[in-house]
Amino acid sequence: MTGSDFTVLPRHVAVIMDGNGRWAKQRGLSRSEGHIEGAKTFRRIGEYAGDLGIKHITFYAFSTENWARPQQEVAAIMHLFGDYLNEAYDRLEENRAKGIRLRFIGDRNGISKELCGLMDTLEGLTADMDKVNLNIAINYGGQQEITHAVQSIAADVKAGLLRPEDITKETIEARLYTGEQPPVDLMIRPSGEQRISNFLLWQSAYAEFWYSDVLWPDFTERHFDEALKAYEKRNRRFGGI
């Protein structure tokens, strides 16, 4: 299936990758093994979305609340993230040929210097790509993001660079991690849960939501197509009639 098979594609798709642990438990495996399978799904769906012609896609990889998980599980997730970064570096020319720009959104405090260095390198080497913006939310929280934006604006007000009465919706949006990218059109959450979990709170103000009982490691291109087909049928009024 290609983008031409859809009457309309969302500009920005957000995906909450949920269900890795339950997938593993159902099979008598460790949670870490579930995350390994989930990482494979992430790679596949990310490439598929780009091939369809979706310009912006954001994956929720690790939240600010996920640090509370068992230390062994957190370490396994960070190890997988490092594997992905190294793989992305090895495939740099392939990704550049596809026009993929990599961005990592979230608070980098708490993430190792080695991983932060790899993130910086990949962002710099793909900064001129403009076909697909692939955002990976790592140590990310929507409330944290908005707090960071407000603090940045407050600092400018204190410095006399900005008047409070001049603060607009656009002022706040410019300070978000997603910067100049458009708001989320479609939010996808597998695993049967139906909540936003502190993900892209501002950007999802008028997003369409699509839920599925499929656990993330079992999520396929067919399920992604189902979400896009459902999106096509939505009547987006943005508060109007």
Query: So which residues are the catalytic ones?
Result: 18, 66
Among residues 75, 101, 86, 81, the alpha carbon closest in space to that of 38 is found at 81
DSSP E strand stretches across 153-213: 186-189, 208-211
Q: Compute the C-alpha angle 138/56/238, nearest 5°.
A: 105
Q: How many Å apart are CA 27 and CA 34, to the nearest integer?
A: 9
Q: Compute the C-alpha angle 141/162/109, nearest 5°.
A: 30
Q: How many Å apart are CA 156 and CA 160, to the nearest integer?
A: 6
